[in-house]
A and B are shown apart, each in its own frame.
Chain A
C-alpha cells in the first residue's frame, strides 16, 4: 500500500525533552480558577451548615474557606515539580514519557501501536501559544497519554513523526 503522502519522512529521535515552562502559568491559572470556584461553593455550603447548626456565620465561612484552600493548595504548590517531572523522548521504536509528583510514571508506547493523534488547545493554552498532544492506541483503555505544554512546531513534529513515519506494511 502506498500512502498518499508519497515518500515517508525519515525517522528522527530526540533526547529527553521538557515541556514548555509557560505551561506552569497555565496550570497556576487553572488551579486559581478552580480555587475560586471551589471556595465559592464551599463558602456557601459553610454558611448554610453554620445556620443549620446555630453557629455564628464566620465559623462556616472560615471552615469552608480553609477546606477549599486545603483542597486546591497542593496543585498550586506542586506546579514546579509537576513541570520538572514531565518529559518525553522520541526513540527509534517508541515514545517514552514521564510524569507525576507523588505517583510517578514512565510510560513507553511503540510507534507502530499508535492509532491516531489529537492536537488540542484550550483557551488558556492558546493565550500562551501551547498545544496538547493526545496519543491513542487501539482499544477501550482510553488514551495513552496527553503531553501538555508543547509549542505548535513541537506538536506538529510529534504528530508527523508518530504517524507519517510508520511503515504501513508492518
Chain B
C-alpha cells in the first residue's frame, strides 16, 4: 500500500482555504478599523483547523493494487476499505488543478460502469506515480473508440404531422393559462397593479368577454406550444452508427444524442391519455451514460411521438426480435383490488375525518358550515373512487417473462409497457409491508443500472417463482456495461 504524494497536504490546504475565502473576505471587511483581535483569532483557528484536516486527510489515505484490484483505504475515525476489481474499471483520467500544476502533482480519477459519482479519486499523486497507476489500471481495459460522424440515410424521420400533434398534445397551453390566472390572482392583492385592475373594472368586462379572453389566451398558448415543439424537434431523424442509434433534431439549436445499443438498459412505450385518444405513443430508452462520450444518462427519447402503427418499428431498432403487440399478459393477484380499495379508503377517509374535525372547530366562525349529509356523500364518493381506480389498475396491470425479457404493463391514465432485458437486471427483490404479507401478496422489483421496475402485488407462490427465475439470469453473460 502506498501513500499519496506529501504535497497533497498543500493541495488540501489550498482547497480548504478556497472553501472559506468568501467568509474570510467578509470577516476582514467587517473587522477593518476595529480595535479587537477577532479577525486574528478566527484566522488562527481556521488556519489551525485547515492544517489539521489537510494533514489528517493525507495521513489516513493509502492505495495500492492488490490481487487484481485497486484498493483505496481510508483509516480515520470512519474507516473505509474500497476494493475495485481492475476488470471493472472503465476509465482512468489524470486531472490537474492550478495549484496542482504549480506543485507538479496530479489527481487520478477512476470510474467504473459510469455511475454518477466517481468511484475513486486519488489526490494528489506525483506525475510518474499517476502515469504508472493509470497504465497498470488500464492494461486490462479495452479502449472504446468514438463514433464516426458521416450521415447515412435516415432510418426513421418524424413527419410534420406528428410534430404538430406532439406540440398540440403537450400540456403547455394549460401551463400558460394557469400562469395567466396566477398573475391575475396576484394582481388583485398587489398594490402596484391595483390601478390596472381598477381600469379593468372601469372597462366593466362582461362574463362573456372574460370567457373570450380566457379562450384567446388558451389558443395563443397552444400555438406557442406547437411552435416551440416544432423548433425543438424539427427535422427529427434516427440514423444508425456502428454502435447503435443516433437521434438528430432541432431547427435552431441542434441536438445530437448517441445511443449505443449495448448501453440500453430498458425500453418504455408510453401512451398518455391524450396521445391514446389520437392513436399516438412515445418511446423512451433508459441509457447508461458514458464518462468520455457525450451520451445522455437516464431516459433518452427515441421519439417524442410516434403513430401507433410505427411503434413496433421503433422497438425493433433496439430489440430486433421484439414487438410491443401480441404479448400474452399474465394478470397480477386479484387480491390487489381488495388491498387497493382498503388502503385508498383508509387514506382518504382519514384525510376526510381530519377535514371534518377541522371544519367542526371553526364552524362558529361560519367559514365552513357543511351539513352532515355532505360528509356522508363525500365518504361514498371516496369509496366509489377507490373501487373504480383499484379495479382499473388491476385490469390494466400485467407481466410476462420469457428467455430474454421481463415485460411489465401498467398505468391507467398514462399506460406504459416496459421491456427489461434479463441481461441488464442488476438485482431483484420481493418485498411488501405488513398488510401485504397478511394477504400473502408481494411486489417484485428489478433494478437495472438506470432505475427500478416493479411488478406489483403478485400472489406469494407466483412472486417467489418469478424471483427464482430472475435470479437464474445471473448465470447469463454478465457484461452488460462493457461495450
Contact = CB atoms under 8 A, between A and B. Distances in A.
Interface in B118-158: 119, 140
B387 interface: no
Nearest to A105: B431
Contact of A166 (B85, B448, B480): B85
Contact of B429 (A102, A108, A122): A108
A138 B480 CA distance: 9
B113 interface: yes
B8 interface: no
Interface string B28-67: 0000000000000000000000000000000000000101
Interface of B is mostly: mixed
B139 to A, nearest CB: 9
A136 B85 CA distance: 12
B474 A93 contact: yes
Contacts of B119: 115-116
Contacts of A126: 79
A144 B429 CA distance: 10
A87 B437 CA distance: 18
Interface string A81-110: 000000000000110100010111111111
B430 A105 contact: yes
Nearest to A4: B68
Given A106-B430, A111-B474, A159-B83, 6 more contacts: A5-B67, A138-B113, A139-B113, A139-B449, A144-B426, A170-B478
A117 B434 contact: no
Nearest to B265: A139
Given A94-B471, A139-B115, A140-B449, A113 B428 contact: no
List 5 A-B pairs, minimum CB-CB distance, nearest first. A139-B449, A110-B474, A112-B478, A138-B113, A5-B67
A40 interface: no
A72 interface: no
Contact of A110 (B83, B88, B473): B473
A86 B438 CA distance: 20
Given A1-B87, A3-B67, A106 B431 contact: yes
Contacts of A170: 477-479
A10 interface: no
Interface of A: 1, 3-5, 93-94, 96, 100, 102-113, 115-123, 126, 136-141, 144, 159, 163-164, 166, 168, 170
Contact of A106 (B288, B426, B429): B429
Contacts of A121: 78-79
Interface in B260-289: 265, 288
Contacts of B87: 1, 3, 168
Contacts of A141: 426, 447-452
A116 B115 CA distance: 12
A116 B467 contact: no
28 contacts: A4-B67, A4-B68, A93-B471, A93-B474, A94-B471, A94-B474, A102-B433, A103-B432, A105-B430, A110-B475, A110-B478, A113-B478, A115-B85, A115-B112, A115-B119, A120-B78, A137-B426, A137-B449, A138-B115, A138-B449, A138-B481, A139-B449, A140-B298, A141-B452, A163-B83, A166-B85, A168-B87, A170-B478
Nearest to A168: B87
Contacts of B475: 93, 110
B467 A139 contact: no
A166 B88 CA distance: 11
B21 interface: no
A115 B481 CA distance: 11
Identify the interface centre among B83, B265, B433, B472: most chain A CB within 10 Å of its CB.
B83
Contacts of A4: 65, 67-68, 86
Interface of A is mostly: mixed
Interface in B435-457: 437, 447-452
B140 A1 contact: yes
A139 B286 CA distance: 11
Given A108-B470, A120-B79, A138 B478 contact: no
A35 to B, nearest CB: 22
A141 B88 CA distance: 17
A3 B87 CA distance: 9
Interface string B73-89: 00001111111111110
B67 A139 contact: no
Given A108-B470, A120-B80, A139-B115, A144 B427 contact: yes
Contacts of B193: none
A106 B431 CA distance: 6
B7 interface: no
A139 B288 contact: yes
A107 B429 contact: yes
Interface string B291-328: 00000011000000000000000000000000000000
B140 to A, nearest CB: 6
B69 interface: yes
Contacts of B480: 138
A164 B342 CA distance: 49
Contacts of A139: 113-115, 265, 288, 426, 448-450, 481
A170 to B, nearest CB: 4
Contacts of B215: none
Given A94-B474, A110-B474, A138-B481, A116 B83 contact: yes
